[in-house]
Amino acid sequence: MILITGSAGFIGSAVTCALNRQGRSDILLSDRFGEREKWQNIVGTRYKRFIHRDDLFAFLRENPLAKDIKAIIHLGACSDTTETDMDYLLENNVSFSIRLCQWSIENSVRFVYASSAAVYGDGSLGFSDDDNITPTLRPLNKYGFSKWMFDMWVLENGLAGKVAGLRFFNVFGPNEYHKAKMASVLFHIFPQAVKDGKVRLFKSHRSDIPDGDQARDFVYIDEAVDISLFLLNNPEVNGIFNAGTGMAHSFKELAHGLFEGLGKSPVIEYFPMPEELRERYQYYTRADMSRIRNAGYPVKEDRFKENVACYVKKYLLPGNLYLTERSV
């Protein structure tokens, strides 16, 4: 039995779908829906039981099914990089994770969790997942700090050899529609390109980086799922790993890929970044993938253009927002 937290979210629902496609339905799903539409992400998926996030620890204490859990993929968290309530982030991204990790250790259950590339801050210290570098990192926002805090808890408690963490870089693809402002840039500029024939991107506020040349390590949802399942299926591989592609592409390239997928000539306008974001903005990210490659994960070749085209043509353009069994 596999427990997936954040199971109705972007990556969690995609992992559930991938396990279904492998013939597995021995899955426990846990999440909190609220008023958002992410419940639709698990329509068509097959699982044993859904557990509300607030009831999870009671379930683990009292329900006989908990004894059958062999692995936990912990993806549930507040993923809003603009969240200002640090106490809320401490509860959801740190304390909850600590309790769940402790339960997994006590019950000899495989524990794979989601960290974030936000821990790297402005990137001035690079993007190496070497444990010796982690204590020196300085995240730019409260969300990144909360993820760093849990990474540090893992390291300081000597658990890096017993659990596996993934620092996801910029993941994009179907099932992200419910993330609102936290959805990918590609998701947000797609309707602009269709309706207006042009897209709007942030201006650069650094003299050494031209407008549109801000760059990210863009990770397609298939790649995020693949690396998650690698850690699930290889319990001997432990530590905190980058989950990226090892390549950086600019937002300008992203926009050009979108227009190419639409068969249109690219038209890009740049507008000032909100002042409150300028000091907390990552201008460049690129995952160092050597650690997980050395652990046996087969890092793929750069498929950025193909993945952008796939998302645009297979999902965004036909209005198919879901990566579930109904879209197979």
Condensed to tens digits (0 to 9), the pLDDT of residues 44-91 reads: 999 999 999 999 999 999 999 999 999 999 999 999 988 999 999 999
Condensed to tens digits (0 to 9), the pLDDT of residues 263-301 reads: 999 999 999 999 988 888 999 999 999 999 999 999 989
pLDDT value at 328 more than 50: no
The 10 Å Cβ neighbour count of residue 56 is 22
The structure tokens listed for 271 are 């507008």
Name the percent of the chain lying above pLDDT 90: 91
pLDDT value at 327 more than 80: no
Q: Which residues contact 229 (CB under 8 A, 6 or more apart)?
A: 15, 18, 19
Name the percent of the chain lying above pLDDT 70: 98
Task: Give the active site residues.
Answer: 143, 179
| CA separation for the pair 134, 240 (Å, rounded) | 10
| CA separation for the pair 53, 72 (Å, rounded) | 14
The pLDDT of residue 238:
98
The pLDDT of residue 37:
84
**Residue of higher predicted confidence among 180 and 36:** 180
Beta bridge partners of 52: 31
| CA separation for the pair 82, 176 (Å, rounded) | 17
φ, ψ at 25 (rounded to 5°): -135, 10
Using DSSP's 3-state secondary structure scheme, residue 213 falls into coil
Condensed to tens digits (0 to 9), the pLDDT of residues 215-272 reads: 999 999 999 999 999 999 999 999 999 999 999 999 999 999 999 999 999 999 999 9
DSSP category for residue 77: S
Q: Which residues contact 209 (CB under 8 A, 6 or more apart)?
A: 283, 284
| CA separation for the pair 303, 284 (Å, rounded) | 19
The model's confidence at residue 323, banded by pLDDT at 50, 70 and 90, is low
Q: Can you tell me which residue has the tokens 């193909």?
A: 306
What stretches of the chain adopt beta strand conformation (E)?
2-5, 27-31, 49-52, 71-74, 110-116, 164-168, 170-172, 199-202, 215-216, 218-220, 239-243, 249-250, 268-271
Sequence letter at residue 265: S
Condensed to tens digits (0 to 9), the pLDDT of residues 124-143 reads: 999 999 999 999 999 999 99
* Domains of the chain (ranges, CATH numbers): 2-172+218-246+285-302 (3.40.50.720)
Q: Which residues contact 100 (CB under 8 A, 6 or more apart)?
A: 5, 56, 72, 74, 111
pTM value is: 0.94
